Structure formats: C-alpha cells, structure tokens
A and B are shown apart, each in its own frame.
Chain A
C-alpha cells in the first residue's frame, strides 16, 4: 500500500514534464492569485504568451501551483532518499567500528550523544545558514542529526550479532575481521536498517519542507513544497489552495513512506510474521 503510493510519487516525479505542466518558474502578472481550475495567460521564457489552465490555481506572482507541486515532488524525493542513504552509509560505518572495536566505542558514542543532545531541526537550520541553501547542503544538514540514530542502532545490532556462534565459528575459521564485519555481521543487520532508512527518509522529506517553509532551506525560486507553502502563507485566508495542495502532497508522501517502513518491518521480522 505504502509502496504503491510511493511508486506513484516516483512516477510523478520522473514524468513531471509530460503531466500538462509548464516550467515551474514561469509567471505572468496577469494571472496572479487565480483559483484552481481557472484559465489564464502565462508567458514563456521566449516571451510567448500561452493560454494555460491553472489546475491548482496560481500564486501571487502568477506561477502555476500545479506545475510547482509536481516538480516539487522531485526535490522532496531526492532529498528524502539522498538523506536516508547518506545517514545510513555514515551511520553504518560508525556503528560497525563502534560495535566491533572496543577502544573506539567510548569516544565515538560520546560524540554521537553530543549531537543527539541538540534538536535535529536546530542543527539543520544552523548548518544550512552556514553553508547557503542548495540541494547538497540541505541533504547533508538533515543527514547529520540522523547519523547518531543510525549509529546507535547499528552498534546495538553488532553487539548482539558478534556474540552469535556463527560469528565465533568464522573467527575460528580464520576469517579476517573486515570480512566478518561485512560478510557476517552487516548482512544480518540489514532488515532493521532498511526500516530505519525509510523512517529517516520520511523525516528528511518533512524537515526539508520545514526548512524551506521557514526560508532557511532551498532558495525561494526552487519549486519545493515548503517554498510553495511559504509563499502562500501570507494570503492563506483568501487563497487557501496555495498551501493546501503542496500540504496534501507532503502529508501523503510522508505517510506512504512510513507505511512502507511498517510493512517492511513486519515482513522482515520473522517474529512478527509468525503471529499472523
């Protein structure tokens, strides 16, 4: 179910140019604040004026909200997935080291505790403010506060799995530490990590929207759901569609990713599966 909705979102993101959209940055002074479904003029970059139906209305610059929301899907998904991958990659590396190398454990984990003590959104805002907004900085900024969570999870898994007899047998078989970590321990960590990854992804999509909404994320001309909502906030009472449509997309996407995560957890966890 979650996967189906998510697949639809990915499809929308890829097929954005063919879904009856116009370039999301186009605007026309004559078509400002149109209600959903109204038609109006829009000027292309070449200076031509087209007749266009504004499915979701237009904003105060006369930009097509439908096009912006559809193109915004791309940004959100890219940010979500890239953040999850980055957080997982760094978290797995730190977690494996921390769980397997005793001497590193104390230092690394106290550092992670330090990061966890600061609210995630605060770190993200501070980092983006420091680096200027772009996709890369937003992804890195959201991933950093997520890394300690992944690290802790991996570390606890490693601590359990390293005591398993099959790991001890591998030691007795003379398998080098590196291959024990990547051949025996990591594959058996994957199930909970995948689940954690989906939750990180959902959280990242949400945080990206929050950052943009607060005006500290991507620059305002980039079509992201947060930016559209931020732009529409001023006239929310008279033109609610400005906030409504991107809001719906955001809610549905985050929900879909979370449902996907729950589903993955149930299918990957043998104990849960038996209970059916």
Chain B
C-alpha cells in the first residue's frame, strides 16, 4: 500500500483550526505592507492541509501566529485564529503556554536546533509531560517509551538516554515529532519538517506523520515549498503568494486542474522525473576524466590509531564537450568531495583528474595556475558565494584580471556576460546584497564564465532557489552549455533536476559510484538497489509535473 492510497477523505466534524480574514502587518519600510493579507482557511479533525508557497509568501508567519510565536516586529492586524472554537488571536502568553503541546504543537525544519544539545532526548520529552500533567515519574517514563515506540525508533531505552548529536537527522526529527505528539494535541503544525532531510529519510518521515495523524485523528497544517511532498500527503492544499491566498482546494483538484495562473506556473516549474532524452554527440573531445579518484580524511588522535574517513573512493568519470554529467546522491555520499577535488579546492588522496588530457591531481600551485581557468564552479548558497564588500563588476572581472586581461577589456566582457545571463549592465556597480538569490546565482554563473572555462561545475547550484527561479536558472544553464559548447558537471540531490539536465548520471552512495550510465537508462531502468530506493522515495512520483497542466 502506498501512502497515497491510505488517504481518506477528511472527517467533516468541526474544524480544529479556523483562520478567518487573517492579516499580519509588516513593520513600516518593508517591501509590502502585510506579511499575510486576509487569509482564511480551516484545518479539520484528521485532515492534512498543505500550505504551499515560495520564500517570502508568508507561510511560516501564519504558523508562527497560530503558535503565538510571531517575532516582535510583526503583529496580527485583523482577523481571528480559532483553535477548537477558542479564539486565540490575542490570547495571553500564560494561556498559550497551556495550549502548546496539549492542543497544538509544532515540528520545525531543522531537528538539530529544535532539540537542546545538552539534554538527553528522554528528558526533553519528559519536560513536556512534567509541565502539563500530574503523572508520576514511573507513568511518565512509560508514556515516553510508548511514544518512542510509536514513532518507530529502535531500542527506546537507548534512544531516551542519548543526546541529540548521537542520533541521525531522521531519528532526531522522530524525537521532535514524538515530543510534539506525546500529549495528543488536536493540531500539529509542521513547518518544512522534511526539507533538511535526505530523500529516503523524507519518505519515511512523511509516512510516519501520515500514520500518526491517522491513528490519533490529528489535524495537520503542513507547510512546504515542495509540490512532490504535497502530492504525497495533502488532503487539501492552500497556495500562498506574497501573503495572499490564491487557491484553496482538494489536492487532486489543485494539482491536476489548478485554476490560478500562479499555481499553474508553480506546478509547471516542477521538473519531471522523465529524462529529457536529448541526442548527444558521442565523439566529442574528452574534457574531464577521473581515474580511481579518492579522498581520505585521516584524523590523527593523540592515543590509539588514526581514524580514517573515506569521503570518496575509486571514482571513475568521463565527460565530453557539450555534455552534462550529473552526480546524484544524498548528503555524505561524497558528491561534493569529488567536485572539490576536480577544482582542486582540496587535494585528492589518490587517482588522476585529467582536464583536457592533463593530469592535475598532483600538480603544485604554480603548475596548476594555467589549468585553473579551464574548470569553474558555481556553489549552492547564492548568499555566501559573493564577497559582500565587492561590487558585482569587481567579482566578475577578478578572474580575468588574475590572468592579465586589461581592466577595460575585462569590464567590457563582464557587461556582455551579464547580458548573457539576462541581467542589466547597471548591475556592475551594485553590491551583491541588492540582488535576490536567483540574480546572485546568475552573477556567479557570469563570474565562472568570465574565465572562459571548458568545464563548468554546478555544485547544487539550484538547490537553494525557489522552484520558479530554479526553472529559470536551469534553463539558463542549459542555454549557456549549448551556446558555448561547454561540458557541465551537475551535482545535485534532486532527481527531478538531474532528469531535466543530465545526459549521463553517476549515482553516489557512501563515497562510491554505485551506478553510472546514460540518464535514460538510470531513470527508466535503474539496476542498483540504492538507485531504486532513491526513486521509490522521490515524493510525488504519481503526478506528472513539469508539463503545464491543461487549463479548463
């Protein structure tokens, strides 16, 4: 039974949470007057409502207003929030404290920061029980063990005696969910609870939330930016755009027949899981070849033997001009390590890295210098990959200046590159903080292209972007690759993104390439069990995203 078949229609009896005409004011001088404007929706008993929107849509603000956790700069300007028919819009802090955990509770995105690192997990759950119930220590212990078993954690006795750092990300999120549900609240608010997790873990957590809410009849307000997740668990969907509710309806209704243009655009921007199937020239010259590439980190302790971590082992990749090779894997699989070895940001421990035939794996700084410009990289975080104290122009011409290009000529080229990445030439004199994430990523691409590289590495380059922006940047990368006949190494954890851009795919797990071949083969006939598990876990497989849904 797949999770989707378990979804039953919501119980019509009474709403757990009713939000009516809610408006939340932003401080004066913000880019808009209201973080949330006249939003109304309800969450019924046993119902999962997904609140979907891009960054800045106000979805988290709604969650915070319900929990009474709004930052001091924001306040509810109008409207009401009712929890089990009690108006809590302006409830006192003391009342809210009684309600939290007993009637409503929240699960956050990052389980590591939601848990106190210096208190054992069991004691953190115990704290909730101690505050809200009169149970004896023995009863509390029994209740804790029960809920740990319920969130399907192995060996409950060991888990409650562990500190958060001793558990994996998925286990930590289970602890947070256990803590949220231990008093059987009527409403669970989950704010991007699986965004920080790997795709296989995400699938397990989603299933857990579904199971638990079904068993306890909890109403769930699930906040996410990911339509795949929506397709997996939602009963109803509310789509937010810049603080306004643009569409509200049953899941299949919204996903298959979206009425609002914005929803249609968002769903259309989600890449499909089908490979693009573009023809590639097989005899193009080889740009990148790695042979037996390995990186081992050794930690030398004062006592005992050195501990070794094999971040990457025996990686053999080949990439020809005009092609895109994807490295797909979960966190810790070694995919970024491989990229950083190829750019020589770190030194490989063994093996060869051949750039256009020359092995650069062991070259010293001086010999490496002329080859550096052939390989350029675009990083994941657009907010940290530009020096905040340098203008965009300075950033783009830095590389060419290093290689002796006269300043005027470099600036002229920077202007043309900005045009290529669809940005105004006036951007040259401005500073990075004046641009959005997507624009910054374009600037980073322009900076990389200024070196006229033969190989462009995109290390999770679109992962931090909203889905609509992501689609634009992907399209831009594709266009540039064709126009400049570049080889592209595309590193991502997102199978949908990989399907859209890659000709070849290497799947990595625990430092090794477990499956490597043409994208068509990997996506349509995965051989290795790990690859198959990855596809199993990809949320929203059943829905055909990407192709813009028909307008009715």
- A residues sitting closer than 8 Å to B (CB atoms) are 164-166, 168-176, 179, 183-184, 187-188
- Whether the Cβ atoms of A188 and B388 lie closer than 8 Å is yes
Closest to A190 in B: B389
Question: Which 6 residue pairs across A and B have the least CB separation, nearest first?
Answer: A173-B399, A165-B385, A165-B379, A174-B372, A166-B387, A187-B389
Contact of A174 among B386, B388, B395, B403 (CB under 8 A): B403
Instruction: Indicate whether A170 sits within 8 Å of B398 (C-beta atoms), given known contacts A165-B379, A165-B381.
Output: yes
In the complex, A187→B394 CA distance in Å? 14
B552 close to chain A: CB less than 8 A:
no
Contact of B402 among A164, A165, A176, A188 (CB under 8 A): A176
Instruction: Indicate whether A169 sits within 8 Å of B379 (C-beta atoms), given known contacts A174-B402, A175-B398, A188-B387.
Output: yes
Inter-chain contacts of B493 with A (CB < 8 A): none
Inter-chain contacts of A164 with B (CB < 8 A): 384-385
B235 close to chain A: CB less than 8 A:
no
0/1 interface trace, chain B 339-363, chain A, CB 8 Å (1 if under)? 0000101000000000000000000
Inter-chain contacts of A179 with B (CB < 8 A): 402
Report B75 CB to chain A, min CB distance, Å. Answer: 16
Instruction: Indicate whether A173 sits within 8 Å of B385 (C-beta atoms), given known contacts A165-B379, A168-B379.
Output: no
Inter-chain contacts of B381 with A (CB < 8 A): 165
In the complex, A172→B373 CA distance in Å? 7
- Whether the Cβ atoms of B398 and A173 lie closer than 8 Å is yes
**Can you report 29 residue pairs joining A to B where beta carbons are below 8 Å apart?**
A164-B384, A164-B385, A165-B379, A165-B381, A165-B384, A166-B385, A166-B387, A166-B395, A168-B345, A169-B444, A170-B387, A170-B398, A172-B377, A173-B372, A173-B373, A173-B402, A173-B447, A174-B372, A174-B403, A174-B451, A175-B399, A175-B402, A179-B402, A184-B387, A184-B390, A187-B390, A188-B387, A188-B388, A188-B389
Closest to B459 in A: A165
Which secondary structure characterizes the binding site on chain B? loop
- B residues sitting closer than 8 Å to A (CB atoms) are 343, 345, 369, 372-373, 375-377, 379-381, 384-390, 395, 398-399, 402-403, 444, 447, 451
- Whether the Cβ atoms of A169 and B385 lie closer than 8 Å is yes
- Whether the Cβ atoms of B345 and A171 lie closer than 8 Å is yes
Report A245 CB to chain B, min CB distance, Å. Answer: 44
Instruction: Indicate whether A172 sits within 8 Å of B345 (C-beta atoms), given known contacts A166-B385, A166-B386, A184-B387.
Output: yes
- Whether the Cβ atoms of A174 and B399 lie closer than 8 Å is yes
In the complex, A166→B378 CA distance in Å? 10
Closest to B340 in A: A168
Report A158 CB to chain B, min CB distance, Å. Answer: 14
Inter-chain contacts of B389 with A (CB < 8 A): 187-188
- Whether the Cβ atoms of B377 and A169 lie closer than 8 Å is yes
Inter-chain contacts of B343 with A (CB < 8 A): 172
In the complex, A114→B447 CA distance in Å? 45
